[in-house]
Amino acid sequence: MSSSEHDVLVLGGAGVDTIVHVPQLPLPYADSYHIDPGIETRAGQTGDFVALGLTALGLRTHHVDTVGDDMPGELVRAFHREHGIGLTEIPVAAGTKRAVNLVGPDGRRLSLYDGTRADADGRVPETTVRALAAKSRHVHVSITQPWAAALPLLRESGATVSTDLHDWNGDDAYHETFALDADIVFLSAAALRDPEAAMQRIAERGRARAVVATAGAQGARLLAGGVLSHVPAVVPPGPVVDSNGAGDAYAAAYLFGMLTGEPPAVCAGFGAVAGAYACTVPATRAQCIGRDELLREAARARASHAAG
């Protein structure tokens, strides 16, 4: 490990989700539904879960984001204390980010984000970001506000940068800002008409040395060193109950591989294992795969694929 204070600095993506299990997605209109196993509000949005996944894999992780002086903010603070993740809070009058996640019986998710919780002024604490990035080997930037404004600052630190575009449609300019200024770019193929073309465009126009487009049970596409390859999906170690957090787990495990010196194909294999594991964990629980299990299952997956 480097002598830097942090292995990974995570910017943005702190918030609270209310989990609602629904009988099917899309949800047909009805006057009311009785929800089982119930409705639960807990801390854990994309930045929280990336930070949790990195910490579970033994990486020294610190998280920075806007957090309100409200009950959701208390849940976010408690989440970080419980899991031993350092948190630097940037006060925000709009309140802590929150969302409602509808989860179907097959584990698929529909997220409804509260647009009133965006930080409208977009200010970034430049001194804080510079100081923390200078002490970090790598910075993972969530696409939540106001962190696009931090991208120019990160280049001064010398740290590598990653981002997750989630369900980018390939055209939205806001997402593209992140895509073109990161060394490692993660995205979902779900909303892309031509995932491979979108990946090539990111690599050609930006600074990415690796682009990963995930597609659930269909595996993932990896573009690294100008070579496009397919990364097989891994069979989950149990029943699939929730896809929430699978992409965050994938990113955390990929970054673990990168920071421990593995080549991109191995890093992507780590991501496939961690993402499959995450699908077996209910959204109401904060649990990520650990280092020993990740290495063991990744070795098993490689042997299985090699055997055909």
User: How is residue 87 written in tokens?
Assistant: 């948190």
**299 with 260: CB under 8 angstroms?**
no
Choose among 12, 96, 83: nearest CA to 54.
Answer: 83
Q: Which pLDDT value is given to residue 229?
A: 97
Q: Which pLDDT value is given to residue 307?
A: 76
The whole-angstrom separation of Cα 143 and Cα 125 is: 16
**242 with 103: CB under 8 angstroms?**
yes
In terms of Cβ atoms closer than 10 Å to its own Cβ (0-12, 13-18, 19+), residue 118 is middle
pTM for the full predicted model: 0.93
The whole-angstrom separation of Cα 16 and Cα 196 is: 33
Identify each DSSP E strand in the chain by its residue range.
6-11, 15-21, 39-43, 61-67, 86-91, 97-103, 109-113, 136-141, 160-164, 184-188, 210-214, 220-224, 227-231
Mode of pairing for the β-strands spanning 160-164 and 184-188: parallel
Give the sign of the dihedral formed by CA 153, CA 156, CA 159, CA 162. Answer: positive
Q: Which pLDDT value is given to residue 122?
A: 66
Centre a 10 Å sphere on the Cβ of residue 147 and count the other Cβ atoms it contains.
25
Centre a 10 Å sphere on the Cβ of residue 67 and count the other Cβ atoms it contains.
25
Q: How many CA atoms lie within 13 A of 222 on its CB side?
A: 21
Q: Which pLDDT value is given to residue 24?
A: 92
pLDDT in tens, the chain (308 residues): 455 799 999 999 999 999 999 999 999 999 999 988 889 999 999 999 999 999 999 999 999 999 999 999 999 999 999 999 999 999 998 899 999 999 898 888 899 999 888 765 667 899 999 999 999 999 999 999 899 999 999 988 889 999 999 999 999 999 999 999 999 999 999 999 999 999 999 999 999 999 999 999 999 999 999 999 999 999 999 998 888 889 999 999 999 999 999 999 999 999 999 999 999 998 778 899 999 999 999 999 988 877 76
